[in-house]
Amino acid sequence: MWVTAKEGSLSCVLSKRKVPLVISVLLLLALLSLTACGILPATPTVGGLRVVSFTVTPNPVERGSSVTVTWNVTGASRVTLWQMWYESKIGYWVRQLSPETIGPAVGKWTIAVPHNATWQRTTTMDQPHWDSKFELEAADDSGNSVVVTSEEIRFICHPLFFDLNVTWTTCAHAPQITKAVFQPFEHGYMIWRADTGQVYVLLQHPEHLWRAHVPTGQTVDVGVPPTGLYAPGERLREIWDQLDEDWQSVLGWASEPEQTYVLTLQLNMTGGRPIAGSDDLYISWPDGRVARLLVYLSASNYDYGPHWDFYSDINTHANPRHY
Per-residue model confidence as pLDDT tens digits over 169-211:
678 899 999 999 999 999 999 999 999 999 999 999 878 999 9
180 and 303 part of one domain: yes
Decide if 123 is inside a domain.
yes
In this prediction, residue 322 carries a pLDDT of: 34
d(CA 139, CA 50): 10
In total, how many domains does the chain have?
Answer: 2
- Report the CATH number at residue 88: 2.60.40
Domain that holds residue 201: 176-310
Q: Which residue has the higher pLDDT, 177 or 125?
A: 177
Q: How far is CA 120 from CA 10, 88, 274, 305, in A?
A: 22, 10, 10, 21
Segment 98-111 shows an average pLDDT of 93
116 and 180 part of one domain: no
Decide if 137 is inside a domain.
yes
Q: Which of 34-38, 40-44, 87-91, 223-227 has the lowest mean pLDDT?
A: 34-38
197 and 80 part of one domain: no
Q: Which of 61-70, 74-83, 212-221, 299-308 has the lowest mean pLDDT?
A: 299-308
Decide if 108 is inside a domain.
yes
Decide if 37 is inside a domain.
yes
136 and 198 part of one domain: no
- pTM tops 0.75: no
For the purposes of burial, counting CB atoms within 10 Å of the CB of 201, is it exposed (0-12), middle (13-18) or buried (19 or more)? buried
Model confidence band, residue 122 (pLDDT cutoffs 50, 70, 90) = low
16 and 117 part of one domain: yes
